Amino acid sequence: MSTLKDLRAWRKAIGGGAERVAVIGGTFHMLQPGNITAVRLAKRYAGHLCVILEPDCSSGAAKAHAAHGPNDRPAVSLSERLEMVSHLKDVDLVTSCRPTLAKARLECLRPYTWVYCKKQIDGKLAARAGELADCRVSIPSIPGCFTPEILAAIRKGRTPIHIPGLAPGKRPVPAHRSSGRILVTANGCFDVLHIGHLRFLSQARAMGDELVVLINNDASVRRYKGATRPIFPLKFRKTALLALRSVSAVRSFHEDNPLRLIAQLEPNTHVKGGSYDPTRVDGERELLKRWGGSLAFCPMVKGRSTSAYLQKVTAP
């Protein structure tokens, strides 16, 4: 987590007071439509974006969320939340502090534009950020997409969650055969993004120059995971993946496996996570051999999975 010295050095390095900074706050206990959209919109107001996270359960925002129900605040540590947000490509700096220490940190960022949603449940830290801002901008909320609302929908089986007006960005699949760039692919449902997903995708990207994620569409996820999955529809899962530093492009498939897309893209390397079914990879390995590609594996973070997360938030 950034110290005062770190913040001053960062602000000086990007141009000091001559360069506008946008600042948003939140808890980011999950990467969901509301906060992903807030990050994307906030970056439009300045060349640099700083995200200030509410601290752990002592925060006013945590208590406010808890009022919605005992399971509306999943226990995701501050260190894990900081790491999650750092994977977002629009975020230039992520930090946190106790509300009592906020003034000194925020002074290091001035001048800045405070970007906020009027319906957001904020604590004292966000209130202080708004007070010290040189400019304040309100952005619209996405109906039904605050974390307590999402968790309530999950518990009641109202999934995939309806997300009005959200369209994923589009990026062309990078060419690699003619350019000599190394193309890596990885596949999965990538439903509720967690730290295991983010580390896996970062490791996969490190194996080449571009990473294309092959993602199951909603019908494919439902056949594989059950009637209440996916939690988020395909359009948001694409949006969330494209928001990550590691991801160059996303392609979806309707089949039970990504063989058709792998054959189209001819990646140099296709990467599987630690949760893969060994009996399902023989076809991929044989397909990759046709053009000299290879199959690679990355271990997943122990104890971090979408299923484990859902069990936690739906427990009585």
DSSP states of 169-183 as a string?
---PPPP-TTT-PPE
> Cβ neighbours of residue 224 under 8 Å, at least 6 residues apart?
189, 216, 256
Report in angstroms the alpha-carbon separations of 153 from 91, 233, 250, 311: 28, 13, 26, 14
Higher pLDDT, 58 or 132: 132
Higher per-residue confidence, 168 vs 84: 84
Q: Which residues of 1-39 are buried (b: 16+ CB within 10 A; e: fewer)?
A: ebeeeebbebbeebeeeeebbbbbbbbbbbbbbbbbbbb
Phi and psi torsions of 185, nearest 5°? -125, 155
* Overall CATH class of domain 19-155: alpha beta
Work out the pLDDT band at 267, boundaries 50, 70, 90.
very high
| Stretch 76-95: mean pLDDT | 94
Tell whether the model's pLDDT for residue 183 goes beyond 90.
yes
CB 284 within 8 Å of CB 231: no
Residue range 231-257: mean pLDDT, rounded: 96
Point out the least confidently predicted range of 82-86, 186-190, 255-259, 297-301.
297-301
Q: What is the pLDDT of residue 114?
A: 95
pLDDT of residue 127: 85
CATH hierarchy code of domain 183-314: 3.40.50.620
pLDDT of residue 268: 96
Q: Which two tokens stand for residue 130?
A: 């708004």
Q: pTM value? A: 0.90
Closest to 87 (Cα-Cα) out of 237, 234, 193, 228: 193
Distance CA 95, CA 11 (A): 13
Residue 187's pLDDT is 95
Q: Domain residues of the chain, as ranges?
A: 19-155, 183-314
Q: What percent of the chain has pLDDT over 90?
A: 58
pLDDT for 117: 87
Mean pLDDT score of the chain, rounded to an integer? Answer: 87
Give yes or no for residue 60 having a pLDDT over 90. Answer: no
pLDDT value of residue 55: 87
Evaluate whether 19-155 and 183-314 have a shared fold: yes
Q: Is the Cβ–Cβ distance between 117 and 139 less than 8 Å?
A: yes
* Cα separation, 200 vs 29, whole angstroms: 19
Instruction: Determine the average pLDDT of the residues in 127-149.
Output: 90
Most confident by average pLDDT, 122-136, 164-178, 212-226: 212-226
